Amino acid sequence: MTTEPTGSVPPPATGFDVAAIRKDFPILDQLQDGKRLVFLDSAASSQRPQQVIDAMAELYQHSYANVHRGVYRVAERATREFEGARVKVAEFIGAPSSDEVIFTKNATEAINLVAASWGRTNLSSGDAIVLSLLEHHANIVPWQMLAAERGFEIRWIPVTGDGRLDLTDLDRLMDGAKLCSITAMSNVTGALTPMDTVITAARAAGALTLVDACQSVPHMPTDVVDMGADFVAFSGHKMLGPTGIGVLWGREALLDAMPPFLGGGGMILNVTTEGFIPDGLPAKFEAGTPPIAEAVGLGAAIDYLGDIGMDAIRRHEVEVTAYALRKLTTDLGDSITIHGPAEPSARGAVLSIVLDGVHAHDVSQVLDEDAVCIRPGHHCAKPLMRELGVTATARASFYLYNDDDDVDALSDALIKARDFFAI
């Protein structure tokens, strides 16, 4: 269905200077075929400011060494920067202790860690977990793999016609479940999960909660304690940081009780020919040489986001989303469908678009001719696509470096695409 914006929008993000922010992103300061690059694919992977690039380069140029065991000064500097980044992550998400912050390759690995370690220990035939039809494949496939091995049941929270969770039958779905693993925000419809409602129902049923926060942590304030979750996973590359680093946060008591995920150097206290003793947190879950420069880059990204303010970023994105919903529905009328909630404050800055009669991949290719970058496809959410009755959408996603000018460029390019394929 085509959404029409309704309701009120939060107060404007006063002093939010997108032009100044764009200057920090070298990749945005370029022309493609003489046209300004309009990057609208941050839901897949954001761009990096110069501050992140510089922080990683500085480490490689002056402080790089393997961490934790070196006693020479360069190694000690590298360890301080690496562990300093962990502290920044903990503070950014309100974690009680940096020991609860586990560095992973990405959120996919973080979810797989919980499935393989906690899940393999605690789930068996006769048990049940709860997922939703909004989930990314990264929060579906690991559980399906484990269910095939252990024989437990997977229950599904359905979705409404506007792409939100349908919580009508939530208590029944949670009854007897051991875990609810759920996204905080859909990467397709942008719908925000009512976390209080879901986590309260899970807790009442005695279930733990794992939150896929990939699409929420980069865009709005996050406090894992206030959220009440047991595990939270997110990726650095969606929040101005580098690829190759993600985060699993978990409650310390749970992480302490879980067996290691991977074995090798760095995660052991002692090894003999008879066996091994794992190290404490967080080392127990960080086998091998960690993503050192990537952690430093993530720390710099957190510094950058913190300087701007997550409340301000959220307000700005709600404004841009509200303008985009108005602009696109006005300019393209019945020829466009935008999946997701109509209320801008009930969604993230993600618009999944269907242009009548035009395949999403064709839309994306035509838009690229105007230097407008969007993502076509199923967005690793095939169960949701089937519910929406589409095989693919053209997804435009906004971030702190986008503004109304980018929306105007998107609208103009979509009109060109519609008219081109109507010939």
397 - beta bridge partners? 41, 350
Domain shared by 41 and 77, yes or no: no
- CATH number of the domain that residue 209 is part of: 3.40.640.10
Q: Are 352 and 188 in contact (CB under 8 A)?
A: yes
Higher pLDDT, 204 or 10: 204
Is 214 catalytic? The answer is: no
Whole-structure pTM value: 0.95
Mean pLDDT of the chain: 96
Q: Would you tell me how many other CB atoms lie within 10 Å of the CB of residue 121?
A: 11
Domain assignment present for 9: no
Domain shared by 144 and 291, yes or no: yes
Q: Residue 164 is part of which domain span?
A: 52-307
pLDDT > 90: what percent of the chain? 96
Task: Say yes or no to pLDDT of 188 above 60.
Answer: yes
In this prediction, residue 1 carries a pLDDT of 36
In this prediction, residue 331 carries a pLDDT of 98
Task: Say yes or no to pLDDT of 9 above 60.
Answer: no
Q: Are 64 and 293 in contact (CB under 8 A)?
A: yes
Q: Are 265 and 208 in contact (CB under 8 A)?
A: no
Compute the distance between CA of residue 235 and CA of residue 215 in angstroms, rounded to an integer: 9
Average pLDDT rounded to a whole number, residues 9-13: 46
Domain assignment present for 2: no
pLDDT in tens, 152-184: 999 999 999 999 999 999 999 999 999 999 999
In this prediction, residue 422 carries a pLDDT of 85
Average pLDDT rounded to a whole number, residues 387-409: 98
CA dihedral 104, 244, 64, 308 (to 10 degrees): -90
Q: Could you say which DSSP state residue 279 is in?
A: -
Domain shared by 269 and 281, yes or no: yes
Q: Would you tell me how many other CB atoms lie within 10 Å of the CB of residue 288?
A: 10
Task: Say yes or no to pLDDT of 287 above 50.
Answer: yes
Domain assignment present for 100: yes
DSSP 322-350: HHHHHHHHHHHGGGEEEES-SSGGGB-SE
Domain assignment present for 5: no
Q: Are 234 and 247 in contact (CB under 8 A)?
A: yes
Of 307, 336, 352, which closes a domain?
307
Compute the distance between CA of residue 416 and CA of residue 176 in angstroms, rounded to an integer: 53
Task: Say yes or no to pLDDT of 3 above 80.
Answer: no
Average pLDDT rounded to a whole number, residues 383-388: 97
Domain shared by 143 and 181, yes or no: yes
Average pLDDT rounded to a whole number, residues 33-50: 98
Compute the distance between CA of residue 283 and CA of residue 253 in angstroms, rounded to an integer: 15
pLDDT in tens, 255-278: 999 999 999 999 999 999 999 999
Dihedral pair phi/psi, residue 271, rounded to 5°? -135, 135
Domain shared by 214 and 151, yes or no: yes
Of 307, 336, 364, which closes a domain?
307
In this prediction, residue 97 carries a pLDDT of 98
pLDDT in tens, 290-348: 999 999 999 999 999 999 999 999 999 999 999 999 999 999 999 999 999 999 999 99
**Tokens, residue 61:** 């140029």
Domain shared by 340 and 295, yes or no: no
Task: Say yes or no to pLDDT of 378 above 80.
Answer: yes
Domain shared by 122 and 255, yes or no: yes
From residue 216, alpha-carbon distances to 112, 343, 347 in Å are 19, 17, 10
Domain assignment present for 7: no
Catalytic residue among 180, 214, 373, 380: 380
In this prediction, residue 15 carries a pLDDT of 67
Domain shared by 301 and 315, yes or no: no
From residue 164, alpha-carbon distances to 6, 80, 132, 183, 191 in Å are 16, 43, 10, 11, 5
Task: Say yes or no to pLDDT of 132 above 90.
Answer: yes
Residue reference for tokens 């589409």: 390
Of 307, 337, 365, which closes a domain?
307
pLDDT > 70: what percent of the chain? 96
For residues 341-362, b (16+ Cβ closer than 10 Å) or e, as one string? bbbbbbbbbbbbbbbeebebeb
Compute the distance between CA of residue 56 and CA of residue 52 in angstroms, rounded to an integer: 6
Average pLDDT rounded to a whole number, residues 241-258: 98
Compute the distance between CA of residue 156 and CA of residue 154 in angstroms, rounded to an integer: 7
pLDDT in tens, 84-112: 999 999 999 999 999 999 999 999 999 99
